[in-house]
Chains A and B, each alone.
Chain A
């Protein structure tokens, strides 16, 4: 199974390593060659330097026969556009896009891509943690 990960920051690099450990053939795309260091010395997967908006870069990364793609650059709009290109132009069935803005996550949520919004998750988690910590009011 082939996977392409666009954006090799903290999230992208960890997802790439995790997928590789599960047996996926992973190719990572990042604008900066330095990002390769995040994958560690033992990285055996692919790495393409370039911008994910560039279809030549995407094709060199193997999007034409990818089974899954994860898009996690540091720009929400960049991720939205690349995610839609991977889904619509290249027909990749599993496209997961990271968006920080909950409003855009909601708006683009029902188009066949899976949108992961860490901000939304964090808000829910923080709220529920504080709620759990609330001192119990005794009924007596």
Chain B
């Protein structure tokens, strides 16, 4: 089968490797020059450099054949949506699978008829909700020697920290907010950063204080 993969990050490059091993014909499109150089070293002429949202680039990749499958797996949801729309609506690609990076954008994919989507964050959150009794706090990394935990906390509408400046939140001693992930972007937390519902906050805390940190940001566990 002929496949076009748009975006050669972790997802795109691994899918490419697997599909090539299975004997499929494929073109991988990557825009960033450093990533492209690395991919070209591994995959050779299978990789094409360009912006996969440009129609001329898609045409050079053979979108008009059309491919049996198009995978829009860049790190940008708007790009993935537009690539999928162009493929399906202008070139009659039957199967377009899009990666959703920010689960809040899932509704836009649904609205615009891109029904086959994959969202790693949603899948992981689904697992977390089953496996972790304390909702809202995901342990990312434990630094055993230092006695520190790196955690991710999702701020909700009713969280005590929502709408507050980071500098005004009383955190347990030795802990610190590092960054917030919102709308597909990561920003470092400054004392003036206002936390908003939906923010994914990366934080570090002494291991025994992790639950206190959770309470400070999200309130008492339900």
Contact = CB atoms under 8 A, between A and B. Distances in A.
Interface string A65-94: 000000000011110110011001100000
A101 B111 contact: no
A107 B55 contact: yes
A88 B108 CA distance: 10
Contacts of B79: 77
Interface residues of A, number: 21
Interface string B85-125: 01000100000000000001101100110000000000000
B183 A104 contact: no
Given A80-B82, A88-B112, A89-B111, A53 B105 contact: yes
Contacts of A55: 107
A103 B55 contact: yes
A121 to B, nearest CB: 19
A53 B183 CA distance: 8
B54 A103 contact: yes
Interface string A44-62: 0000001101111000000
B50 to A, nearest CB: 13
Contacts of A51: 182-183
A31 B187 CA distance: 13
Interface residues of B, number: 23
Interface in B181-199: 182-184, 197-198
A54 B77 CA distance: 12
B82 A81 contact: yes
Nearest to B109: A81
B28 to A, nearest CB: 19
A31 B78 CA distance: 16
B56 interface: yes
Contacts of B86: 104, 107
B78 A77 contact: yes
A53 B111 contact: no
Interface in B25-62: 53-56
A54 B107 CA distance: 10
Among A85, A101, A103, A104: residue with most chain B CB under 10 A: A103
Interface string B181-222: 011100000000000011000000000000000000000000
A69 B184 CA distance: 24
Among B78, B105, B112, B182: residue with most chain A CB under 10 A: B78
Interface of B: 53-56, 76-79, 81-82, 86, 90, 104-105, 107-108, 111-112, 182-184, 197-198
